[in-house]
Each structure stands twice: as structure tokens, then as C-alpha cells.
């Protein structure tokens, strides 16, 4: 392959499989650099009787940490303990995998107080993202991790 044959292509709506290539390749690089092949997905859903997703949490485990990527609930399920149950279940999964900590991001207009209430501490803040708001970075140390 000649370098001249490589072209930069902008894609407004990339195929999920194409985006997945990037995630898999960076994971492969990270594993080679650290010797840590212990990546695992985390997905927990709240479903109604018809099977419709009404909320959930997803993320991944790697190198002794759980990264919570998304935690979402439909509006009518908020403030009924479902978010707490999702977060506790994710922390349980993390402990089962031997994780020592969790990290996540949230915006000032989302749920920073929810995470503080659950023992998370802010370790970073990006102001004016988006303008007039902030993007927060939280972490929590877990107790009792047990390796599978």
C-alpha cells in the first residue's frame, strides 16, 4: 500500500461497524501496551412487560476500572430508585470483575448531585461545555472487589 492511496473521508452517519473498528483497534493497542486483556462490556436494562427499554446503564470494564458511559431513565421512572438500582448493580458487576474503582462523566444539567449522593467525587470539570454549562468527571473507589 502506498501512503498516497490513503484519503481522508468525512462521514456524517458512519456505519456502526466502521465506528467499531476504531474502538477495537484502540483496545488492541491498549492491551498490547499494558498487558491488560480484561475488557468486558456492562449492559443493564430496565424493560417493561412488552420488552421496551425504559432505562438502562452501559459501559465497560478494563484494567480494574468500570467506566459508566451512559445511565438513562425515561422521565416517569426518575426519582423512584431505578437509577440507584442500576448504579448499584453496575458496581456489583465491577466488584465481581475485581474492579477497584468507577469513573463516569455527566453534565451540570444532568445528574451531578445524584452521583455525589452515591459516593462519587468530582475530579475534573470542563467549563462552558456546552456554553453556560459544565462537563464533570467523577470517580468512586469500590470496596470488596473479588476477582472471578
Three-class HEC string of the chain: CCHHHCCCCCCCCCCHHHHHHHHHHHHHHHHHHHCCCCCEEEEEEEECCCCCEEEEEEEEEECCEEEEEEEEECHHHCCCCHHHHHHHHHHHHHHHCCCCEEEEEEECCCCHHHHHHCCCEEEEEEECCCCCCEEEEEEEECCCCCCC
pLDDT of residue 7: 86
User: Is-contact 79 98, C-beta < 8 A?
Assistant: no
- Would residue 61 count as lying in a domain? yes
pLDDT of residue 140: 98
pLDDT of residue 26: 92
- Would residue 66 count as lying in a domain? yes
Q: How does DSSP classify residue 13?
A: S
pLDDT of residue 3: 73
Residue 98 exposure: Cα atoms within 13 Å on the Cβ side: 8
Question: Which residues sit opposite 105 in a β-bridge?
Answer: 137
- Would residue 21 count as lying in a domain? no
List the CATH number of the domain containing 84: 3.40.630.30
Looking at the structure of the chain, the number of domains it has is 1
- Would residue 12 count as lying in a domain? no
pLDDT of residue 123: 98
Question: Which region holds residue 119: left if phi is over 0, alpha if psi is between -120 and 50, else beta?
Answer: left
Full residue range of the structural domain in which residue 88 is found: 38-141
Cell numbers placing 7 = 484519503
- Would residue 76 count as lying in a domain? yes
- Would residue 4 count as lying in a domain? no
pLDDT of residue 52: 98
pLDDT of residue 148: 46
Residuewise pLDDT in 10s, the chain (148 residues): 567 888 889 999 999 999 999 989 998 999 999 999 999 999 999 999 999 999 999 999 999 999 999 999 999 999 999 999 999 999 999 999 999 999 999 999 999 999 999 999 999 999 999 999 999 999 999 986 545 4
Angstrom distance (rounded) from CA 85 to CA 128: 31
- Would residue 118 count as lying in a domain? yes
Q: Which helix (H) or strand (E) holds 33?
A: helix 16-34
Amino acid at each position: 500500500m502506498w501512503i498516497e492511496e490513503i484519503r481522508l473521508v468525512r462521514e456524517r452517519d458512519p456505519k456502526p461497524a466502521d465506528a467499531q473498528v476504531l474502538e477495537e483497534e484502540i483496545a488492541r493497542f491498549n492491551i498490547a501496551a499494558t498487558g491488560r486483556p480484561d475488557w468486558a462490556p456492562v449492559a443493564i436494562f430496565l424493560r417493561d412487560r412488552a420488552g421496551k427499554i425504559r432505562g438502562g446503564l452501559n459501559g465497560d470494564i478494563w484494567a480494574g476500572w468500570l467506566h459508566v458511559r451512559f445511565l438513562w431513565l425515561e422521565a416517569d421512572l426518575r426519582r423512584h430508585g431505578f437509577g440507584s438500582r442500576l448504579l448499584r448493580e453496575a458496581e456489583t458487576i465491577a466488584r465481581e470483575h475485581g474492579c477497584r474503582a468507577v469513573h463516569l462523566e455527566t453534565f451540570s444539567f444532568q445528574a451531578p448531585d445524584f452521583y455525589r449522593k452515591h459516593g462519587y467525587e468530582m475530579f475534573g470539570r470542563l467549563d462552558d461545555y456546552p456554553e453556560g454549562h459544565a462537563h464533570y468527571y467523577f470517580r468512586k473507589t469500590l470496596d470488596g472487589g473479588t476477582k472471578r
